[in-house]
């Protein structure tokens, strides 16, 4: 295992310290926790947004903290859900009396622990609502989930729900728009190589030199097919076709596209994937309103990518365009 770390068992704490050192005017850590919050939290007269999950997916989730997106992120150990008590600390830290909204990716540990934290909060008269993101079209159930997994499409939920909250919307209105995003976003990924959890010290799965995994999850969970590596155009076509086969997007509809790197994929290759995705959508008469290319939800040093497509309406377009001061998503 080759990694630029200190103690494999202390990587999350070292990462948090480094992030706070990089953005001292934007972020602060709740003492003795793995909770990072906006420096001005709690923000008066605003619904607070919290997301989180296991670390190893950076810039998700703490990179999306800031005006216009999240108020807090709860960071678990690598690929491990944060505990209910940590999530509860985040809820208390950002609650200003207008309620707290939880954005949860559909992994069993995340769902259970966030829901337990919500119950703790409600016992103290803190109003909490949630959305569960399940944008991955690859598999219905996996080793980590009941139902579809939540992957990079979650970033669209952060952005749009965060913009809605920043405009002064109620907790119910924030939940409604978040549910609209979940209903209208689909994603699918693939990988060329595995990743290594620092504490484990060995790759989470194996692929031969000429193999790729189609439909893989962000923790290295199995996809739908392992086969020989093919061209970028064929990969982009397979991912895009699977997404479009799962959602009703018609000619003249507008979409946002996200081409997401999983940690070790050069931007050159991501843009090549985007070129084909753009071509496919354009040929179908689907209008691309906005495209994002880069690393938004990674899997340590896994080589691969995912494609996310969000069907837009006027409200979603306006909120997607709203300013963001999140440290990894400034607009």
Q: What is the CATH number of domain 185-314?
A: 3.30.1180.20
For 3-23, what is the mean pLDDT?
Answer: 97
What pLDDT digit, counting tens, does each position of 231-243 carry?
Answer: 999 999 999 999 9
- For CATH 3.40.50.10440, list the domain ranges present in the chain: 8-183+322-330
**Banded model confidence at residue 149, pLDDT cuts 50, 70, 90:** very high
Mark 131-154 as b/e (b = at least 16 C-beta within 10 Å): bbbbbbbbbeebebbeebbbbbbb
- For CATH 3.30.1180.20, list the domain ranges present in the chain: 185-314
* Lowest-confidence segment of 60-64, 107-111, 137-141, 168-172 by average pLDDT: 137-141
Contact residues for 214 (Cβ-Cβ < 8 A; gap 6+):
138, 190, 223, 224, 225, 226, 227, 235, 238, 239
pLDDT surpasses 80 at 191: yes
Measure the CA–CA gap between 138 and 155, rounded to whole angstroms.
Answer: 18
More confident: 204 or 255: 255
CATH topology of domain 8-183+322-330: Rossmann fold (3.40.50)
Active-site residues, by number, are 57, 219
Q: What is the predicted pLDDT for the residue at 142?
A: 66
What pLDDT digit, counting tens, does each position of 280-322 carry?
Answer: 999 999 999 999 999 999 999 999 999 999 999 999 999 999 9
Measure the CA–CA gap between 22 and 68, rounded to whole angstroms.
Answer: 20
What pLDDT digit, counting tens, does each position of 208-226 carry?
Answer: 999 999 999 999 887 899 9
For 90-106, what is the mean pLDDT?
Answer: 98
């Amino acid at each position: 295992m080759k990694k630029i770390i200190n103690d494999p068992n202390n990587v999350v704490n070292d990462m948090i310290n480094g992030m706070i050192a990089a953005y001292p005017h934007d972020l602060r850590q709740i003492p003795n926790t793995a909770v990072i919050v906006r420096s001005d939290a709690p923000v008066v007269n605003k619904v607070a947004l919290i997301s989180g999950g296991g670390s190893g997916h950076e810039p998700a989730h703490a990179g999306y903290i800031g005006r216009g997106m999240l108020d807090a992120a709860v960071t678990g150990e690598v690929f491990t859900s944060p505990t209910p008590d940590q999530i509860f600390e985040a809820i208390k830290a950002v609650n200003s009396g207008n309620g707290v909204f939880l954005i949860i990716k559909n992994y069993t540990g995340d769902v259970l622990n966030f829901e337990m934290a919500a119950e703790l909060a409600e016992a103290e008269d803190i109003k909490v609502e949630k959305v569960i993101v399940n944008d991955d079209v690859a598999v219905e159930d996996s080793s980590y989930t009941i139902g579809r997994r939540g992957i990079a499409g979650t970033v669209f939920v952060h952005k749009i729900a965060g913009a809605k909250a920043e405009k002064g919307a109620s907790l119910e209105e924030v939940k409604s728009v978040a549910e609209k995003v979940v209903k209208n976003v689909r994603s699918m990924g693939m990988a060329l190589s595995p990743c290594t959890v620092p504490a484990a010290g060995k790759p989470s799965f194996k692929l031969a030199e000429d193999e790729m995994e189609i439909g893989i999850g962000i923790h290295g969970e199995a996809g739908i097919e392992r086969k020989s590596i093919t061209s970028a155009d064929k990969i982009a076509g397979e991912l895009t076709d699977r997404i479009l086969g799962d959602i009703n997007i018609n000619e003249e509809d507008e979409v946002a596209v996200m081409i997401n790197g999983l940690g070790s994929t050069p931007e050159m290759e991501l843009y090549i994937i985007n070129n084909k995705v753009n071509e496919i959508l354009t040929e179908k008469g689907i209008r691309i309103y906005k495209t994002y290319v880069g690393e938004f939800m990674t899997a340590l040093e896994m080589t691969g990518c995912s494609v996310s497509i969000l069907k837009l309406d006027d409200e979603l377009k306006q909120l997607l365009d709203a300013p963001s001061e999140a440290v990894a998503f400034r607009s």
